[in-house]
Amino acid sequence: MISRIWHGWTNRENADAYEELLRTEIFTNIAKRSIQGYHGIHLLRRDADDSVEFVTIMWFDTLDAVRDFAGEDYEVAVVPPKARQLLSRFDKVSAHFDVIETPD
């Protein structure tokens, strides 16, 4: 299994709107794509000084499944235009890890 990890930051004023966009539009649209080997996404959020940090962790069977999601240059972050409007900064690339242990 592959874990795709990405970070983005908003200002406090945009944090709730960004979270709502993720939950109601972006994550829903990803699920609608029915990507074979995609097993969902976790969303993490924390306040950090004058910003709010978000972390997404996506789960895939293989790097081929990641490529089906992100394209051939699969490390490049997938950040839709509406999200870019709310983010103050974000990782330009996502990190990919082989999953060694899970809390079954």
Q: Token pair of 62, please?
A: 């293989």
The model carries a pTM of: 0.93
Neighbours of 30 (CB within 10 A): 17
For 30, the domain range is 2-98
Is residue 104 over pLDDT 80?
no
- Does 91 map to a domain? yes
Is residue 60 over pLDDT 80?
yes
Q: Token pair of 46, please?
A: 């924390």
- Does 74 map to a domain? yes
* Number of domains composing the chain: 1
- Does 17 map to a domain? yes
DSSP one-letter code for 25: I
69-76 average pLDDT score? 97
- Does 41 map to a domain? yes
CATH number at residue 81: 3.30.70.100
- Does 104 map to a domain? no
